[in-house]
Chain A
Amino acid sequence: MKTAMRNTYGETLARLGAVNKNIVVLDADLAKSTQTAKFGKAFPDRFFDMGIAEADMICTAAGLAASGMNPFASTFAMFASGRAWEQVRNSVAYPNLPVKIVVTHAGISVGEDGPTHQACEDIAIMRAIPNMRVVAPADSIETESLITYLTDEYAGPIYVRLSRMNTEVMFKPGHKFEIGKGVIMKEGTDVTIISTGIILRQAVGAGELLKKAGISAEVIHMPSIKPIDGDMIIKSAQKTKKVVTIEEHNIIGGLGSAVAELLCENFPVKMKRLGMMDTFAESGTPDTLFEKYNLTDRALAKAAEEILKNR
């Protein structure tokens, strides 16, 4: 079954808004795309469409947070992380204000919208900011759990990376998102595969392909890129001695870099990072682009086999 995590985001906000009266939602003229319009329809007095004014949106959210409100600010990944980076850094992250920046349309899977909308640098530049947390859930079920956590428990700045496309549901109902925790999807002993966000489908698929080839892959989903689940990754690396990462992001600065930083200092192993190989992409359907830029289960399985050969 396929669902869109951004629909879940909007629906969850609208549901939680009835209970948590401090939730205020801001958007920058993309409320129908990010699905915050669902909250806006339910609570028009607590919804503010700021227009195409991302810098102002982020700082206004900071002012609301400083006044005890629980603001969510949404737009596309490109504009929250890119256009408003300095506002996020100075007005939200520095004073450690609980502004929840929930972005949609991240990565190349925004597809036909083309290169100006394909944010593949956002994980890197957001995780480089102190106090910021960066997370990328894999499906609707995890998104719902995450948004509930952000509303009820977490009181700091965070960047939540959601996707545009409808994606397979990867988790059973009841699955819980935990900050700083990964999820072992499949245990294995030969090679560790780590993915984040919606690329989990490819990671799980690669695990199955490798199994058919007689290779035991451990598949880890890492929704919490910062803070990352260091214990889980180090333990897995100690077991398999080989790690392949895959992400819908430039290989510079994203999940692969975070894993490499961690392992280099703690338990260096052979690694291969898959992602956008320091290139921009172009307009196209998500599946065409995943194929072209080697973000498929087959490409991942191949990379795992190669790293096993070169031991």
Chain B
Amino acid sequence: MSSNWHDDAKRVAAGIRRRVLEHTINNNGGYLSQACSSAEILAALYTGIMNLGKPSTPLIPKPFPGVPGPYNKEYFTGGEFNGPHTPEYDRFILSPSQYALVLYACLIETGRMDESGLKQFNKDGSSVEMIGAEHSPGMEVTNGSLGQALSQAAGIALAKKMKKEAGHIWVFMSDGELQIGQTWEAFQFMVYHRLDNMTVYVDVNGYQCDGKMTSVMSIEPAEKRFESFGCTVTRINGHDLNAIEAAAAAPHTDRPLVVLCDTNPCEGLPLLKIKAPKFHYLRMKNEEEHRLFAEALNNMKGLPGGTAGGI
């Protein structure tokens, strides 16, 4: 891979943090720590690792098409933001759609979604939902209920194997999902049926809705759990692009590959530490906090990739 790819990923990662921070300030709320922890993972997947087709121009999200059903012929998924579904292209499945805002920012930074799309975020009648679903940009299965998307991704991977299609299935998961029984049912299936056309990146940021995971329900030792399930597993620094890239290339014949990415929920935004351990959804408590985060945003805009001038 060329170094250009890493430069691009760095720019995208910085853009993800900046856009999500700006959005969080403007809306006085957002899933900000998730952007800080996963920015490099998503940036690397989209800029250098996955083999996705690309829309010819950045897409403007369509309005919510109405609930799916037998009489709704207008229904669509957000899969088109990830390019066409052809046998040879890869597929990307975001499992925790609490990361929706992060993914939207990533789609903008990688030229897949028009930046005006973020203005529709969480608005009535918009498909750019706060906790996205399969009609939201970049999503194509029901992923809001944690633990269900991995099984669906395994079904998609299985279908690809049965049809002898080449494309790989990339899944992004949160560490909280490792607490869910169904997750392990799915890995059991993926291993038994040798779904080596699947790679799962897990954002191990160590926090969940109720706080620090080690104070709620520990998932450690995570890599040993995956090993004993028969996955090929590697554990890396989830902010290190070299490590993220190397992990994707790890041989995993006959086995699914799991990449545990240790990440920092405040990476790139040290100020966020003042909210510890309440990282799940950020709200500014008062004017002073608001001012501090606005200042941090201004500093970010001066950094490489920080596209001064904003959205």
Residues of A within 8 A of B (CB): 24, 45-46, 48, 50-51, 53, 55-56, 58-69, 71, 86-87, 90-91, 94-96, 130-131, 156
Cβ of A64 and Cβ of B182 under 8 Å apart? no
> Contact partner of A60 among B68, B133, B151, CB < 8 A?
B151
Nearest-CB residue, chain A, relative to B182: A55
Cβ of A60 and Cβ of B154 under 8 Å apart? yes
User: Could you tell me the distance between the alpha carbons of A62 and B133 in the complex, rounded to whole angstroms?
Assistant: 15
> Contact partner of A90 among B142, B156, B162, B193, CB < 8 A?
B142
The verdict on A63 contacting B158 (CB below 8 Å), with A55-B185, A90-B148 known, is yes
Chain B, 146-157, contact with A by CB distance < 8 Å: what is the 0/1 string?
011111111111
> Contact partner of B148 among A59, A71, A156, CB < 8 A?
A59
Q: In the complex, which of the residues A55, A62, A95, A130 has the most CB atoms of chain B within 10 Å of its own CB atom?
A: A95
User: Could you tell me the distance between the alpha carbons of A90 and B160 in the complex, rounded to whole angstroms?
Assistant: 23
Residues of B within 8 A of A (CB): 67-70, 72, 75, 133-134, 140-142, 144-145, 147-160, 162-163, 181-182, 185-186, 188-189, 193
Nearest-CB residue, chain B, relative to A157: B70
CB distance from B48 to the nearest CB of A (A): 26
Cβ of A96 and Cβ of B148 under 8 Å apart? no
User: Could you tell me the distance between the alpha carbons of A8 and B7 in the complex, rounded to whole angstroms?
Assistant: 61
- B147 contacts across to A, CB distance below 8 A: 55
- B70 contacts across to A, CB distance below 8 A: 96, 131, 156
Cβ of B188 and Cβ of A63 under 8 Å apart? no
User: Could you tell me the distance between the alpha carbons of A50 and B137 in the complex, rounded to whole angstroms?
Assistant: 31
CB distance from A260 to the nearest CB of B (A): 25
CB distance from B80 to the nearest CB of A (A): 15
Nearest-CB residue, chain B, relative to A62: B152
Cβ of A95 and Cβ of B155 under 8 Å apart? no
- B188 contacts across to A, CB distance below 8 A: 51, 53, 56
The verdict on A50 contacting B162 (CB below 8 Å), with A63-B154, A95-B141, A131-B68 known, is no
User: Could you tell me the distance between the alpha carbons of A65 and B156 in the complex, rounded to whole angstroms?
Assistant: 8
Q: In the complex, which of the residues A46, A50, A51, A91 has the most CB atoms of chain B within 10 Å of its own CB atom?
A: A91
User: Could you tell me the distance between the alpha carbons of A46 and B150 in the complex, rounded to whole angstroms?
Assistant: 20
Cβ of B153 and Cβ of A56 under 8 Å apart? no
> Contact partner of A91 among B142, B157, B193, CB < 8 A?
B142
Cβ of B182 and Cβ of A63 under 8 Å apart? no
User: Could you tell me the distance between the alpha carbons of A55 and B151 in the complex, rounded to whole angstroms?
Assistant: 9
CB distance from B172 to the nearest CB of A (A): 16
- A156 contacts across to B, CB distance below 8 A: 70
User: Could you tell me the distance between the alpha carbons of A156 and B70 in the complex, rounded to whole angstroms?
Assistant: 7
CB distance from A133 to the nearest CB of B (A): 9
Cβ of A53 and Cβ of B134 under 8 Å apart? no
- A87 contacts across to B, CB distance below 8 A: 148, 151, 182
The verdict on A69 contacting B69 (CB below 8 Å), with A55-B185, A63-B153 known, is no
Q: In the complex, which of the residues A59, A95, A96 has the most CB atoms of chain B within 10 Å of its own CB atom?
A: A59
> Contact partner of B159 among A45, A58, A67, CB < 8 A?
A67
> Contact partner of A86 among B145, B149, B185, B193, CB < 8 A?
B145
Nearest-CB residue, chain A, relative to B157: A63
Cβ of A94 and Cβ of B153 under 8 Å apart? no
- A71 contacts across to B, CB distance below 8 A: 155
Could you write out 11 A-B pairs with CB less than 8 Å apart?
A: A24-B162, A51-B188, A55-B151, A56-B182, A56-B185, A60-B158, A61-B155, A63-B151, A64-B155, A68-B159, A95-B142
User: Could you tell me the distance between the alpha carbons of A30 and B150 in the complex, rounded to whole angstroms?
Assistant: 23
Cβ of A69 and Cβ of B189 under 8 Å apart? no
CB distance from B184 to the nearest CB of A (A): 9
CB distance from B186 to the nearest CB of A (A): 5
Nearest-CB residue, chain A, relative to B159: A67
User: Could you tell me the distance between the alpha carbons of A156 and B155 in the complex, rounded to whole angstroms?
Assistant: 17
- A46 contacts across to B, CB distance below 8 A: 162
The verdict on A59 contacting B69 (CB below 8 Å), with A46-B162, A66-B140, A90-B145 known, is no
Cβ of A56 and Cβ of B189 under 8 Å apart? yes
User: Could you tell me the distance between the alpha carbons of A96 and B70 in the complex, rounded to whole angstroms?
Assistant: 7
CB distance from A63 to the nearest CB of B (A): 2
Q: In the complex, which of the residues B148, B151, B163 has the most CB atoms of chain A within 10 Å of its own CB atom?
A: B151
Q: What 11 new A-B contacts, CB under 8 Å, besides A56-B186, A60-B189?
A: A56-B188, A59-B155, A60-B151, A61-B155, A62-B155, A63-B153, A63-B157, A66-B152, A67-B156, A96-B69, A131-B70
* Ranked 7 nearest A-B pairs via Cβ: A63-B155, A59-B151, A67-B159, A56-B185, A63-B152, A53-B185, A60-B155
User: Could you tell me the distance between the alpha carbons of A46 and B158 in the complex, rounded to whole angstroms?
Assistant: 10
CB distance from B281 to the nearest CB of A (A): 21
CB distance from A49 to the nearest CB of B (A): 10
User: Could you tell me the distance between the alpha carbons of A64 and B144 in the complex, rounded to whole angstroms?
Assistant: 19
User: Could you tell me the distance between the alpha carbons of A252 and B150 in the complex, rounded to whole angstroms?
Assistant: 35
